[in-house]
Amino acid sequence: MKIKKNITIILIALLFLLQLTPLAQAQLVPAGPGGGGGHVDTGTSPIDNPNSYKPGGITDADSELITQKAGNIVGIIVTVGVVASALTLLILGIKYMLGSVSEKAEYKKSMLPYIIGAFLLFSASIIVNIIASIVQESGLN
Q: What is the pLDDT of residues 112-131, one digit of tens each?
A: 888 888 888 888 878 877 88
Predicted confidence at residue 32, as pLDDT, reads 47
| Residue that wins the pLDDT comparison between 44 and 90 | 90
DSSP symbol at 57: S
* Distance between first and last Cα of the chain: 45
Predicted confidence at residue 115, as pLDDT, reads 84
| Residue that wins the pLDDT comparison between 88 and 35 | 88
Which residue stretches of 25-100 are H helix?
60-98
- What phi, psi does 39 have (nearest 5°)? -105, 155
Q: How far apart (Å, rounded) are the C-alpha atoms in residues 125 and 77? A: 9
Residue span of the structural domain in which 7 resides: 2-138
pTM here? 0.48
Confidence band for 11, pLDDT divided at 50, 70 and 90: confident
Q: How far apart (Å, rounded) are the C-alpha atoms in residues 115 and 117? A: 5
- Looking at the DSSP bridge assignments, the partners of residue 55 are 39
The secondary element (H helix, E strand) that includes residue 109 is helix 101-138
Q: What is the pLDDT of residues 18-68, one digit of tens each?
A: 666 555 554 444 444 544 444 454 556 667 777 777 666 667 777 778 878
Q: Are 118 and 92 within 8 A, CB to CB?
A: no
Number of domains in the chain: 1
Predicted confidence at residue 27, as pLDDT, reads 46
Predicted confidence at residue 141, as pLDDT, reads 52
Predicted confidence at residue 20, as pLDDT, reads 60
* CA-derived radius of gyration, the chain: 23
Q: What is the pLDDT of residues 94-117, one digit of tens each?
A: 888 888 888 888 888 878 888 888
